[in-house]
Amino acid sequence: MKQRFFSKHWVLFMMTLPILLSSCVVVRQGEFGVKRRLGKVSDNVYTSGLKTFNPFTTKIIKLSAQTENIEVSLNIPSQEGLTIQSEVSILYRVVKKDAPELLRTVGLEYEETIILPVFRSAVADVTSKYYAKDMHSGNRAGIEIAIRELMMKTLKDKGILVENVLLKSIALPKNLTKAIEDKLEAEQQAQRMEFVLQQEKQEAERKRIQATGERDANRIISEGLSEQVLQFKALDAWLKLSQSTNSKVIITNGTVPMMMDPEAVGGKK
């Protein structure tokens, strides 16, 4: 009797177990849970944890709360009418409080429904205002910001936050790439020549200052060598010679002394 009772309850448990399991869902970290009951989306947003619901009338839809990355390869236009190949990353996330409205108005296929179409339209509007060379230079960051801001004008009311748009690669036409490289090389050569000319100017200025200093020094010396000074220097030299114990021959014109070696004089005889 007990065995039959146990068997009935075991069969009942096994029959109800799938129902019990289907009435529970785990919302993991990095996810949102939104309840939809009888086709109507609730305004409540569930965070991580175990959630129970009536599987016959209700379903909990899970959305990613993390930053998502969409990789896009496309051709973008430039102001001069060129077509440029580019690899772009769109970093976005779903805003928690707007998740129910996103499901009501767009659904789960929001990437294909609104994000990508809005992105392609924004890219065409922004890049067509820039020259191709600007996309290959420091203006790239400004282009990325402009695309993001234009996308947010449409997506901010849909519950999508575009965090960043990254132009990862820009493939310019070969002839344009060569022209840009030639221009950069010419600019570098001009900068090197400017540096050389600056050095030459500095060296010329140094020599001019040196010559001016030497000229001024000579002028000061010449102005100071008067007749009285020369006579005083001659008298001072004679005085020092007279105090020497070495024999010497002094020849003078009466103003400036000239000393000669006696042995050298004697050797000439």
Helix, strand and coil in the chain, % to nearest 5: 55, 25, 20
Q: Report how far residue 259's alpha carbon sits from residue 269's, in angstroms, rounded to the nearest whole number.
A: 18
- Are the CB atoms for 99 and 70 separated by under 8 Å? no
pTM of the model: 0.56
Say if residues 72 and 45 touch (Cβ distance below 8 Å).
no
In angstroms, rounded to a whole number, what is the distance separating the alpha carbons of residues 258 and 269? 20
**Closest by CA position to 121, among listed 62, 76, 84:** 76
pLDDT the model gives residue 250: 61
Nearest in space to 66 (alpha carbons), one of 89, 43, 94: 94
35: which strand partners? 60
| Residue from 151, 154, 172, 171 nearest 163 by CA | 151
* Domains identified in the chain and CATH numbers: 2-64 (no CATH), 68-177 (3.30.479.30), 227-267 (no CATH)
pLDDT at 19: 46
Number of H helices, E strands in the chain: 9, 10
**Cβ atoms within 10 Å, residue 159:** 23
Q: What's the pLDDT score for residue 198?
A: 86
Backbone angles phi, psi at 29, to 5 degrees: -65, 140
Answer whether 105's CB lies under 8 Å from 98's CB.
Answer: no
How confident is the model over 60-97, as pLDDT tens digits?
Answer: 788 888 899 999 998 888 887 878 888 999 999 999 88
**Are 144 and 121 a contacting pair, CB within 8 Å?**
no
Bridge partner residues of 251 (DSSP): 258
Q: What three-state secondary structure class fits 85?
A: strand
pLDDT at 60: 79
Strand partners for 64: 31
Per-residue pLDDT tens, the chain, 269 aa: give them. Answer: 445 544 554 544 455 445 444 556 777 788 888 888 777 878 887 787 666 656 667 787 888 888 999 999 988 888 878 788 889 999 999 998 888 888 888 888 999 999 999 999 999 999 888 887 777 777 888 899 999 999 999 998 888 999 999 988 877 666 655 665 667 667 777 888 888 888 888 888 888 888 887 777 767 666 665 666 666 666 666 666 666 666 565 666 555 555 555 555 455 44
The tokens describing 66, both together, are: 């993390």
